[in-house]
Chain A
Amino acid sequence: MKKIIPFLVVSILVLGTTLLWFMSSGFSVSGVEAWQFVIIILLVAIGFYVAFSRLRRVNRGEPVEDEFSKKILQKASSISYYVSLYLWVAMIFVNDRTDMDTEVLLGTGILGMAVIWVVLVVFFKVKGLKNG
């Protein structure tokens, strides 16, 4: 259970904070904020899915994690770190040439990092880790 509860807690915290943000903005969000809102909801949904699939594994008597799943997380994390560096350089480039707000820039960058990580995890779950 100790590998399931953190997923649920973080997902609930993110969802709660997002709803608070949505309510404080008077339920009206601009174009970029609407996209950010949709991406956050998708990430929270993935978080809940991971938590419940782990719970199913526990009920089936399977290990929650094994060496393959751990290696996928390690490889996705290490590659997403490097890709995120390029993302932030790109965000700074965009910020220099547009009038994007700093909050929007930071939000987009952080969400971009999360999306890159999720995409890489899914990629390695499909492709496997032949040389990993």
Chain B
Amino acid sequence: MDNRIRELRARYDLTQEELAKRVGVRRETIVFLEKGKYNPSLKLAYDISRALKSTIEEVFVFAEESGDS
């Protein structure tokens, strides 16, 4: 699963630490999400999407769409 967290975070001028605080996780978790090394729970995906003023589909691109099987 790909995601656009880094891009959207830059758009809203948020640091990894600020985003982590807004969604209630460690900064380390945001780092792993941006690197694509962790697939979040539905709740965390929803919280991140809300913090980035986007929908889940805009932030996270699922395997079939990204061609990553």
A residues apposed to B, CB below 8 Å: 57, 61-63, 66-69, 127-132
B39 contacts A69, CB within 8 Å?
Answer: no
A130 contacts B36, CB within 8 Å?
Answer: yes
Q: Which residue of B lies closest to A65 (CB)?
A: B26
Q: Which residue of B lies closest to A129 (CB)?
A: B38
A66 contacts B29, CB within 8 Å?
Answer: yes
> Which of the segments B5-13, B17-25, B50-58 contacts the partner chain?
B17-25
Chain B 24-37 per-residue mask, 1 if CB under 8 angstroms from chain A, else 0: 11111100100111
| Among A57, A63, A128, A131, contact of B32 (Cβ-Cβ < 8 Å) | A128
Set of chain B residues within 8 Å of A67, measured between Cβ atoms: 25, 29, 40-41, 44
Set of chain A residues within 8 Å of B39, measured between Cβ atoms: 129-132
B26 contacts A57, CB within 8 Å?
Answer: yes
A62 contacts B38, CB within 8 Å?
Answer: no
Q: A66-B29, A128-B32 are in contact. List 16 more A-B contacts (CB 8 A).
A: A61-B21, A62-B20, A63-B26, A66-B26, A67-B40, A68-B26, A68-B29, A69-B26, A69-B29, A128-B37, A128-B38, A129-B37, A130-B37, A130-B38, A130-B39, A131-B39
B21 contacts A127, CB within 8 Å?
Answer: no
A132 contacts B38, CB within 8 Å?
Answer: yes
Complex Cα gap A115–B37 (Å):
24
Tell me the minimal C-beta distance from B17 to chain A in angstroms: 8
Set of chain A residues within 8 Å of B36, measured between Cβ atoms: 130
